[in-house]
Amino acid sequence: MSDDKLVGIVLVSHSAEVAESVARLAQGLSGSGTTVPVAPAGGRTGGGLGTSAELVVAAAASVDRGAGVAVLTDLGSAVLTVKALLTEGDELPDGTRLVDAPFVEGAVAAVVTAATGAGLDAVEAAAVEAYGYRKS
Amino acid sequence: MLDADFFRRWMAATAMSVDREADRLTALDSPIGDADHGINMKRGFAAVRTTLEKETPDTPGGVLTLAGKQLISTVGGASGPLYGTLLRRAGKALGDAGEVSEAQLADALHAGLDGVMTLGGAKPGDKTMVDALVPAVEALSAGFAAARTAAEEGAEATTPMLARKGRASYLGERSIGHQDPGATSSALLVAALTEAAEAADE
């Protein structure tokens, strides 16, 4: 790929453990070689289930390499918090995008695709496509 | 006309009533939600009050924008981005004016409510905060007391509704028969307008 900047991935879950585990899973399945910047943002700042805008903002800043940031969420307040930050605020890096994808499968697809050096559009498309993967 | 002090009193009065009613909000959230609405709202508005005491914005728009930003940061549940968007969008609509009329406040809350409905995707009748806020904003032209009554009636009217948004929507018909916690806290926010206005008359 001509551009060596990698897309960053942020995983927002109500649970810190879920966000961290899915981040490790996606990294683990993306194979050796390029390490994609992935950051979990799970639970509330002081612990407990919920969504912390502060953790989301910090996670996005930590994975921003200038090629855009794809944010995947689980449900409810995770979705609404990211949307509110995108529409109302200026705290997220330029090129941050909420990606509409299943959390686990989408995260794996996004990280695998980002590891190839693909741009934000391709990373998003791969994550969204994970909705179409049928299991039975 | 309403100045920044009015809006600070509005937020402080909301913080007080949310604090007073936190147990009730959580109790309403227990059968159909995840039993955290009272504690979340209490944490959020306590942070709003602290921030407003520390940063003292000097315009109505500044007060609401800061309050909204604080709610998005601190609430931790879906009500954070929803109430945060309501106040932040309303604050932006009020701009830099040092004082605003009640009509301008009504227009700004209308803009905020549009933001909430876009963000959450809820419509009237879905058993959400929208069911208290839509009638309240419509009634604002008749004064704060009318808006308060409309919000409280709107919240009560959510009891027989079937929830179509949020966690309660997973319960389907079992959500019927419970008053919506978000509509209830929205009624507290609207009621606090009358308290902020009464304090000015004293």
Integer Cα distance of A26 and A36 in angstroms: 10
Q: Could you state, in order of their start, the residue ranges of all structural domains in chain B?
A: 2-201
Q: Report pLDDT digits (tens) over B82-121.
A: 999 999 999 999 999 999 999 999 999 999 999 999 999 9
Query: Of the candidates B69, B80, B88, which has its C-beta nearest A77's C-beta?
Result: B80
Element (H, E) at A70: strand A69-73
* Domain A8-132 is found in CATH 1.10.357.20: no
Q: Is the pLDDT of residue B80 over 60?
A: yes
| Least confident range of B5-9, B68-72, B141-145, B197-201 | B197-201
Q: Report pLDDT digits (tens) over B133-163.
A: 999 999 999 999 999 999 999 999 999 999 9
Q: Inspect the interface and report whether the beta carbons of B76 and A44 lie closer than 8 Å.
A: yes
From chain A residues 36-65, the ones with a CB under 8 A of any chain B CB are 44-45, 48-54
- CB < 8 Å to A49, chain B: 34
Q: Name the CATH superfamily, with its identifier, for domain B2-201.
A: DhaL domain (1.25.40.340)
Q: Inspect the interface and report whether the beta carbons of B119 and A87 lie closer than 8 Å.
A: yes
Query: Confidence class of residue B32 from pLDDT cuts 50, 70 and 90?
Result: confident
Q: Inspect the interface and report whether the beta carbons of B119 and A85 lie closer than 8 Å.
A: no
